[in-house]
Each structure stands twice: as structure tokens, then as C-alpha cells.
Amino acid sequence: MSLLSDNVIPGNHGKIFTTNAKEQVEVAKVVEAILTVNGIKDVLVNTDVFPAEITIHTTEIVEIEKVENAVKPTGFHAIPKGGLFQL
């Protein structure tokens, strides 16, 4: 793959992930797990859609696999959505 498709790149765009967490408590567990990954600046959640969308902003390049692996112990998933951001 490539640098852009395998990583969350620092900047204003962030990377959108989807999660199978439905309830607010479940989504909070997912967000808490994501925030344990080094380099994560903030996490924005959109629960108005299903699956819920989580936008992750970073201060450094973070591998998508690290985000996915951080969420797995919660019993939920974080899957990157779509392709690259539009310019």
C-alpha cells in the first residue's frame, strides 16, 4: 500500500473510521481506547449515522493498524472509511 492509505497523517483532515459500537457507552470505550495510542491529538464522533463515524486527528504519523489493534480489546472494531481525503 502507501504512506497515505496505511497511516493517519497529521493535519486538519484527519482520518475517518467507522465502528460497530452503537450505544454512547460503547462509543466512549472505543474513543478511550483510541486515545491510548501515541500521537493521537483528538477524536471526533458522529453518532447520527450508523455505523458511527470517528474522525481521528494526530500530531504525528500513526499506523492505522495501531488504531485497529487498540480498539479490538473493547470488543468493537475501528475500520478506516473510504479512500484518501479530497483536496
* Average pLDDT value for residue range 6-10: 92
- Does residue 61 contact residue 10 with C-beta atoms inside 8 Å? yes
Q: State the pTM of this model.
A: 0.89
pLDDT over threshold 60, residue 85? no
Distance CA 58, CA 34 (A): 11
Task: Find the helix or strand (DSSP H, E) in which 64 lies.
Answer: helix 64-71
Residue-wise pLDDT for 21-33, tens only, equals: 999 999 999 999 9
Give pLDDT, residue 2.
81
- Of the CATH numbers 3.40.50.2000, 3.20.20.70, 3.30.70.100, 1.10.3720.10, which one belongs to the domain with range 3-80? 3.30.70.100
Q: Where are the domains of the chain?
A: 3-80
Rounded to the nearest 5 degrees, what angle is found at the Cα of 62, between the Cα atoms of 84 and 40? 105
